[in-house]
Amino acid sequence: MEQYIEYVSTFIETHQEWAGVTLGLLAMGESLLIIGLAIPATALMLLVGGLVGSGTLDPLPIIAWGVAGAALGDAISYFIGRLLGPRIVRSWPLNKQRRTVARARYFFHKYGVLSIFAGRFLGPLRAVVPSVAGVMRMPHWRFQCANVLSALIWIPIMLMPGYLTGRSVDALGSDNMNFSILFSGVLSVVLAVWIARAMMRKRQTNHINQPRNKP
């Protein structure tokens, strides 16, 4: 896995004109059912964010390709779940990921469309929630709206820690490079957890405030 990250990192740094396309493919892969469980796109997004922050890469194409790839990956996973139905979770290899599938179904049942947003920021669920939404027959237009909007939020947030590191690395100096990388990783996790929990609290508040039918 480390060799894979090093190879892709070297490719992006060497062929900067392909950085946007590469990020789009990584974002799509990480959002795909099954495949996304094995792609460490987060570390590479930190790298790309750092190149954007240092002024090496233009941010607009990077974000555009990343959003397009993430949205396409979720859309493909959704249609796979919708096409194959419930048997997909009983077949290999998802039958080896029962805990992840159970968590994804729990999120979907409890939070509905907000689970698409939360799934973006919760590691392994990112590659499973869209397919569960397809299996549960979430309306296509609702899923795609949540899919695109969550991708528009997810990509900039995942790039932000690396971007901030790239902006500050000259001021920090080379001796503090490890601290910068650690800071960017911690910040990305904090941002992801905060957004996911904020959406869940909003969902719970709306549910509590819904008027109940009197008998």
* More confident of the two residues 37 and 105: 105
CA distances from 69 to 73, 86, 92, 169, 190 (A): 6, 26, 25, 29, 24
Task: Quote the pTM value.
Answer: 0.73
Please tell me the distance from the alpha carbon of residue 26 to that of residue 40, in angstroms, as a whole number: 8
Would you state the pLDDT for residue 67?
94
Would you state the pLDDT for residue 174?
46
Please tell me the distance from the alpha carbon of residue 126 to that of residue 123, in angstroms, as a whole number: 6
Please tell me the distance from the alpha carbon of residue 2 to that of residue 83, in angstroms, as a whole number: 35
Segment 7-14 shows an average pLDDT of 77
Residue 148 predicted with pLDDT over 90: yes
pLDDT band at 157 (very low <50, low <70, confident <90, very high): confident
Please tell me the distance from the alpha carbon of residue 158 to that of residue 170, in angstroms, as a whole number: 21
Would you state the pLDDT for residue 147?
92
